[in-house]
Structure 1
Amino acid sequence: MGRAARDAAAGAGGTEVLAIDVGLRYGVATEVAPRVDAKLASEPIEDLRIDFEDGYGDRGDAAEDADAVRAAKRVVAAEGAHFAPPFIGIRCKSFEAATRARGIRTLDLFVTTLVEQGGLPDGLALTLPKVSTVAQVEAMAEILAALERVHGLPDGRLGFEVQVETPQVVLGPDGTAPVARIAHAAAGRITGLHYGTCDYSAALGIDAPQQSLEHPAADHAKHVMQAAVAGTGIRLSDGSTNVLPVGDGAPDAWRLHARLVRRALERGFAQGWDLHPAQLPTRYLATYAYYREGYPAVAARLRHVHEGTRGAVLDEPATVRALTGFVRRGVQCGALAADEVAADTGLDPAAPAQHPEEHS
C-alpha cells in the first residue's frame, strides 16, 4: 500500500506538486511534502481493518472460515516481523439476523487463531458494523467476554468499535439518542465510534450522487456521536469517500479527499476511513498541513500558559487541554517534531495525556 501510494503521488508529479494541486500554499507544500514522503515510506498505514463485511461479501462458509484463519495467521506473522500497523484487526459481518451467525463465527475463528498462534496484538481492533440496536452492542460484549473466558484472557482485554451506519441509533422512536446509551452499554469495551457514510445516507433516502461526508445529515449524525462520547475517552472516526483518485478523475478526487480530511479535523474528527492506497498521500498532506499551519499560534498560546504570561487570547483550562491535545496529535501523526514542541512550548509531548480531550 505504501508503494502504491508513493507511485500515485509520483504519477501526479511528486508529493509537492500534488500538495499544491490540492490547494496547499507553496510554503506549506514544501514544508509538509518531505514529511509525507517519509511517512509513506516508513508507516503508510497506522490502522488497518481486514474486511469480512461489505468489501468481502458472501463467499460461502467454507471460504470465509479459511480466510478468517488465514487472516489471523497473517496478522501474527506481521506482528512477529515488526511489520504490522500499530492498530490492526477485522470488521466482521453485522449482527442483523441475516448475517449474525456468520459474523460471530468469523470473530471466533479470528480471535481463537490469534491466541493459538501466539497471542493478541497490542493494537487489536475489532469493528462491529451496521449497529441498529443497543442489544447488538450488548451481545458483542457478551461474545467477547466469553472468548476471554475460553482463552484465559484478562477481563476486558477484547474491545471493539461501533460503526454508526443506521438512523435508528442516532434517533430512536422514543426521541432519544441510542448512540448515547451504546457508549455506556458495553462495560468499557467500546473503543471508538465510526461514521458510515453510504449506509447511513442510503437509509435516509438520500440519492447516491448526494451521499457525502459534507451532507447536513452526515454532520448531524456526527455531532450526535460527539455529544454521546464527550469525556469518555472513546475515539471518533469520520467515514470514507468512495470517489477514488484513479484514472482521469484523479485530480478532482484528490482535491475532494484533501478537503474532506481537513474539514473533519476542523470539526474534531482526527481519524477517518480510506478505501484506496492513492488516498494516503492526500490523507497525510491535508493532516500535516492542518497541524503545521495551526502550530505557530497554538505554540505561542501554550508558551504563555507555561510561562504564566498573558497573550492576546485568555485561555481557560479546558482550552489549554484542547491546545495540548492539538500538539500531541500533531506529534503522534508525524506533522510536528517532539523537540520543536518542547522548545517552543515547554511541553513534553511524550508525557501521558491526563484528560480524555487529549486522546488522539
Structure 2
Amino acid sequence: MGQGQQHKVSTSLAGAVSEEISASLAPVDAELERRYPGDPGTRQPVHTVYVPGDAFAADTVRTWGDQALELLDEHAPDAASFAAVLGLSDELAGPVHARVRAKLEREPIEDLRVDFEDGYHGKDEDQDAARAARLIAEAYENGTAAPYMGIRMKCMEVPVRDRGIRTLDIFLTGLMEAGGLPEGLVLTLPKVTYPEQVSAMVRLLEEFEKARGIEPGRIGFEIQIETSQSILATDGTATVARMIQAAEGRATGLHYGTFDYSACLGVSAAYQASDHPAADHAKAIMQVAAAGTGVRVSDGSTNVLPVGTTAKVHDAWRLHYGLTRRALARAYYQGWDMHPGHIPTRYAAVFAFYREGFEQAAARLARYVNRAGGDVMDEPATAKALSGYLLRGLDCGALDMGEVARLTGLTRADLEGFAAPRRGDLTVSAK
C-alpha cells in the first residue's frame, strides 16, 4: 500500500458484547463515582494550630503571629542566621526568610482549632463554647480570622459523650445566631475507635441541619486517628476505611494524633514522635484508605517546644523543621502546631519544599503540555501531581502566580484542570 493509505481494521466481537459489559459494570461505575470522587480541589491548610477553649481570645491569631516574629527576631534575626540553623542553601536563605516574615505578618495561622478536649481545662464549658462561636463569627466578619477555624469537641465515648454533644450544639447554635456558618468552618471529632461513632456524628449533624434549616450535608468534620482500633479492627479490617464510608461524604480529613496513638501502642514517652515506625504504619494506612475519596490526611505534632536559651530554641527548630520536611516528602501536606515558636519553622519547611522543586516541576509540566519531550517520560498522572504541587505552593504563599505562569505558560485555571481531571481523563494525552 502507498504511504498514507489506511489498512482495513477487523474485529471479532459483536457490538452487543460491549453493551452487555457496560450494563454489568454500571453499578461499579456508580460506586466508583460515589466512593472515590477525587480531591475536592479546595485549599488545604499547611497546619492546624490548636488553642484551649479557655485560652482562646479575639486576638489569638495575631498574638501567635507576633510571638513567632519576636522569637525569630531574638534567635535568628536575619536570613543568614535562620538558614544556618535549618541548613538552608544560600539560594533559598533570602527568599524563605522573607516569605516567612511576610506570612507571619499577613496570615500567621492557616487553620485554628479551639480545643474542648485534652487541652481544655476551663471551668464553664458552656460559656467558653458560646464565646468561641461569638469570637469566630466576629473574626470572619471583621477580616481577622484564619482561613479555617472551628472546634475540637470531646469524643463519643460514654464518660464525655453528652458533654461533647452539648458543646458542639452551643457552638454551632452560636454561629447561626451570629449570622450563619462561615465557609471556613472545620470540626474535629477526636479518639474515634468504631465507625458507629462516626455514624453518630453524622446523625448529630443531620439533626442540627434539620433544626436550623441548613442545607443537608453542609457541615463536615475531621476524624482524629488516635487509637489502635481506628487503624485495625478486631476482625482484621482497616477500620479507618470503614470510618470514611460511615461519614457519608461529610469527612473532610484524617488527623493523626501522635501522642495518644503512641501511648495506645505502649511506646515510651521519650520515643513518642511522628517519625516513629508505629506512626509511619498508621499514617500509611490512613493515606491509602483516604486516597481518591476527597478526604485529606494530616500528620501530627511534636511536643518539643522552642523555648529557653537560643541553643534550645535552635534544637527545637531543627527537629520541627526536619519532621515537617519528612512529612511533606511522604505527601502529608498538613500537620499540627502546638506553640507560636513552631510557626516559623513550619513555614520555612513548607516554603523551602516548594521553592527548591518549583523550577523543575514547572519545566516538566511545560514540556508535558507542549509535548516537548525531555529526559523524563511523563504521563497524565504525573501532570496531575506536578500541577497539585504548584497549586499547593501558590495557596500557602511559597510561590507567586506570576513566576509559575512565566515558567509553565499556564493560568491557575489550567493548573486546576490538570490537578483534578475527571475520572478516566488520566489516560488522555496532553492538549
TM-score band w.r.t. shorter chain: over 0.9
User: 2:377 matched to 1:321?
Assistant: no
Per the TM alignment, residue 180 of structure 1 is displaced from its structure 2 partner at its CA by 0.6
Instruction: Say which SS state the counterpart of residue 329 (structure 1) adopts.
Output: helix
Residues 165-199 of structure 1, C-alpha deviations (whole Å, 9 max, x = no match)? 00101011111101011111111100000000000
Aligned letter for 1:153? I
Per the TM alignment, residue 113 of structure 1 is displaced from its structure 2 partner at its CA by 0.6
Tell me how far apart the structure 2 counterparts of residues 69 and 136 of structure 1 sit (CA, whole Å). Answer: 25
Instruction: Say which SS state the counterpart of residue 353 (structure 1) adopts.
Output: helix
Aligned length: 355
- In structure 1, which of residues 3, 9, 19 is the aligned counterpart of residue 83 of structure 2? 19
Per the TM alignment, residue 353 of structure 1 is displaced from its structure 2 partner at its CA by 3.2
Cα pair 1:231 1:356 within 8 Å, conserved: no
Aligned letter for 1:75? I
Name the counterpart of 1:266: 329
Per the TM alignment, residue 355 of structure 1 is displaced from its structure 2 partner at its CA by 7.4
Cα pair 1:306 1:346 within 8 Å, conserved: no
Name the counterpart of 1:210: 271
Residues 188-212 of structure 1, C-alpha deviations (whole Å, 9 max, x = no match)? 1000000000000000000000001
* Greater displacement, 102-111 / 27-36: 27-36
Distance 1:282 1:157, change over 3 A: same
Instruction: Say which SS state the counterpart of residue 315 (structure 2) adopts.
Output: helix
* Greater displacement, 148-157 / 6-15: 6-15
Residues 147-167 of structure 1, C-alpha deviations (whole Å, 9 max, x = no match)? 000111000111000000001
Tell me how far apart the structure 2 counterparts of residues 15 and 196 of structure 1 sit (CA, whole Å). Answer: 34
Counterparts of 1:329-340 in structure 2, within 5 Å, are: 329-340=392-403
- In structure 2, which of residues 188, 191, 197 is the aligned counterpart of residue 130 of structure 1? 191
Q: Which has the higher contact order (CA 8 A, sep 6+)?
A: 2
Tell me how far apart the structure 2 counterparts of residues 303 and 28 of structure 1 sit (CA, whole Å). Answer: 23
- In structure 2, which of residues 93, 105, 117 is the aligned counterpart of residue 53 of structure 1? 117
**Can you give the 5+ residue segments of structure 2 that lack an aligned partner in the other structure?**
1-63, 422-431
Instruction: Say which SS state the counterpart of residue 337 (structure 2) adopts.
Output: coil
* Greater displacement, 17-26 / 107-116: 17-26
Cα pair 1:19 1:285 within 8 Å, conserved: no
Name the counterpart of 1:97: 158
Counterparts of 1:160-239 in structure 2, within 5 Å, are: 160-239=221-300
User: 2:98 matched to 1:34?
Assistant: yes
Instruction: Say which SS state the counterpart of residue 127 (structure 1) adopts.
Output: strand
- In structure 1, which of residues 338, 343, 346 is the aligned counterpart of residue 409 of structure 2? 346
Tell me how far apart the structure 2 counterparts of residues 355 and 141 of structure 1 sit (CA, whole Å). Answer: 33
Per the TM alignment, residue 347 of structure 1 is displaced from its structure 2 partner at its CA by 2.3
Cα pair 2:384 2:419 within 8 Å, conserved: no
Per the TM alignment, residue 25 of structure 1 is displaced from its structure 2 partner at its CA by 1.4
Tell me how far apart the structure 2 counterparts of residues 236 and 29 of structure 1 sit (CA, whole Å). Answer: 29
Name the counterpart of 1:44: 108
Structure 1 residue ranges, 4+ long, deviating more than 3 angstroms after superposition: 350-358
Instruction: Say which SS state the counterpart of residue 2 (structure 1) adopts.
Output: helix
Per the TM alignment, residue 97 of structure 1 is displaced from its structure 2 partner at its CA by 1.1
Tell me how far apart the structure 1 counterparts of residues 113 and 167 of structure 2 sit (CA, whole Å). Answer: 14
Cα pair 2:387 2:415 within 8 Å, conserved: no
Tell me how far apart the structure 2 counterparts of residues 183 and 268 of structure 1 sit (CA, whole Å). Answer: 19
Cα pair 2:115 2:152 within 8 Å, conserved: yes
Tell me how far apart the structure 1 counterparts of residues 199 and 93 of structure 2 sit (CA, whole Å). Answer: 46
Tell me how far apart the structure 1 counterparts of residues 355 and 132 of structure 2 sit (CA, whole Å). Answer: 37
Tell me how far apart the structure 1 counterparts of residues 203 and 417 of structure 2 sit (CA, whole Å). Answer: 30
Tell me how far apart the structure 2 counterparts of residues 321 and 352 of structure 1 sit (CA, whole Å). Answer: 8
Instruction: Say which SS state the counterpart of residue 156 (structure 2) adopts.
Output: coil
Cα pair 2:112 2:146 within 8 Å, conserved: yes
Per the TM alignment, residue 239 of structure 1 is displaced from its structure 2 partner at its CA by 0.4
Per the TM alignment, residue 20 of structure 1 is displaced from its structure 2 partner at its CA by 2.4
Instruction: Say which SS state the counterpart of residue 114 (structure 1) adopts.
Output: helix
Per the TM alignment, residue 236 of structure 1 is displaced from its structure 2 partner at its CA by 1.1
Aligned letter for 2:332? F
Tell me how far apart the structure 2 counterparts of residues 352 and 116 of structure 1 sit (CA, whole Å). Answer: 39
Instruction: Say which SS state the counterpart of residue 303 (structure 1) adopts.
Output: helix
Instruction: Say which SS state the counterpart of residue 273 (structure 1) adopts.
Output: strand
Tell me how far apart the structure 2 counterparts of residues 267 and 121 of structure 1 sit (CA, whole Å). Answer: 31
Instruction: Say which SS state the counterpart of residue 335 (structure 2) adopts.
Output: coil
Tell me how far apart the structure 1 counterparts of residues 181 and 78 of structure 2 sit (CA, whole Å). Answer: 36
Per the TM alignment, residue 83 of structure 1 is displaced from its structure 2 partner at its CA by 0.7
User: 2:362 matched to 1:299?
Assistant: yes
- In structure 2, which of residues 169, 174, 177 is the aligned counterpart of residue 116 of structure 1? 177
Name the counterpart of 2:67: 4
Counterparts of 1:61-100 in structure 2, within 5 Å, are: 63-100=124-161
**What TM-score, normalized by structure 1, do the two folds share?**
0.96
Cα pair 2:391 2:415 within 8 Å, conserved: no
Q: Alpha carbon RMSD of aligned pairs, Å?
A: 1.4
Cα pair 2:116 2:152 within 8 Å, conserved: yes
Distance 1:103 1:147, change over 3 A: same
Per the TM alignment, residue 26 of structure 1 is displaced from its structure 2 partner at its CA by 2.1
Tell me how far apart the structure 1 counterparts of residues 419 and 288 of structure 2 sit (CA, whole Å). Answer: 13
Instruction: Say which SS state the counterpart of residue 245 (structure 2) adopts.
Output: coil
Aligned letter for 1:245? P
Cα pair 1:233 1:356 within 8 Å, conserved: no
